[in-house]
Amino acid sequence: MAQFDVLVIGDANPDLLLRGDVRPRFGQAEQLLTAADLVLGGSAAITASGCARLGLRTALFAAVGDDTFGALVRAQLAELGVTLLAADGRGAPTGLTVVLSEPDDRGMLTLPGTISALRPGDITDELLHRAGHVHVASLYLQPALAAGLAGVFRRARAAGITTSLDTNWDPSEKWESLAEILEHTDVFLPNAAELRAITRIDDPDEAAAALVAAGTTVVMKDGARGARAWWPGGGCAAPGRDVDVVDTTGAGDSFNAGFLAARLSGAEMTEAVAWAAAAGSLSTRAAGGTAAQAHRAELTP
């Protein structure tokens, strides 16, 4: 039996979460905030935290610098029960995202730092074999990793390790083709806008059908509407939960954690998508990605 249920690969950095009058006005204007929280961020780190909260033995492979932001990341991961397997940061400083958060939308300013340090060669067979499942997050922030991820996923699957991918948004908006990677991806977890951009197909049913035809299961997040999923021979939808939304940072990552926890515990797809949508919704109850992540008892009826 592998040491970890899931190995999450990708970004880990603090999020500085600002609420209040957050739409910047220049000309040396000073604006007042109502809240500021410095919390664990990074899609991979938040997904890993959600997996650990839901009882999975969870490792995170990420590059974290030897600096103040890095120390914060290490301390938070340890507190959340995630084992950090440290990747070579290649001398970069730990990244940071400043989140300008409004109830229904947000803008983000990101210093990539160590986020783009990972290389495909860092993901050795020895590392992969420590887990039963490998999940990669924030692919478009990691072009060097992306260039060799198809080979990494191929090696994983050849060893019987399942694979999942959440690219998140592409800040360059070039949306380079994922065809080669998706060929070796068991589950692809985009939001609606990302599915449209990546496939260049507007209709989600058509977009998903194109990917399912190539053998990938698609689980699409759709904000307050919940989620939809398509797989060879089936499909389903699940509503989000009605919650008092404080902050949606990391909802998609918590969604991924809910899905993976269910599937890796043997749940059917429909149940896993319901867990995912509930986990996404519940995570919005507090500021930041990890503070309000769901416990297992909250996801089961």
Q: Smallest gap, in angstroms, from Cβ of residue 270 to ligand ATP? A: 15
Is 76 or 168 the residue whose CB approaches Mg ion more closely?
168
d(CA 170, CA 167): 8
Is 122 or 222 the residue whose CB approaches ligand ATP more closely?
222
Is 184 or 241 the residue whose CB approaches ligand ATP more closely?
241
- Among ligand ATP, Mg ion, none, the one that 248 touches (CB under a kind-dependent 5 to 8 A) is ligand ATP
Interface size with ligand ATP, residues (CB under 6 A): 21
Q: Which of residues 56-115 bind ligand ATP (CB under 6 A)?
A: none
How long a stretch of residues is the chain?
Answer: 301
Binding to ligand ATP by CB under 6 A, coded x per residue (else -) over 184-223, reads -------x-----------------------------xxx
d(CA 17, CA 35): 8
- Using rule CB under 6 A, residue 284 touches ligand ATP: yes
- Using rule CB under 6 A, residue 135 touches ligand ATP: no
Quick one: residue 102, left, alpha or beta (phi over 0 = left, psi -120 to 50 = alpha)?
Answer: beta
CA distances for 98 relative to 76, 106, 129, 171, angstroms:
18, 10, 35, 15
Q: Which parts of 159-268 fold into alpha helices (H)?
A: 179-182, 192-199, 204-213, 251-264
Q: In what order do the strands lie in the sheet with 131-137?
A: 83-87, 58-63, 4-9, 131-137, 162-166, 187-188, 217-221, 227-231, 234-238
> The tokens 């030897």 sit on which residue?
66
Stretch that binds ligand ATP, among 31-39, 127-135, 210-218, 224-232 (CB under 6 A): 224-232
Q: Which residues bind Mg ion (CB under 5 A)?
A: 168, 252
- Among ligand ATP, Mg ion, none, the one that 212 touches (CB under a kind-dependent 5 to 8 A) is none
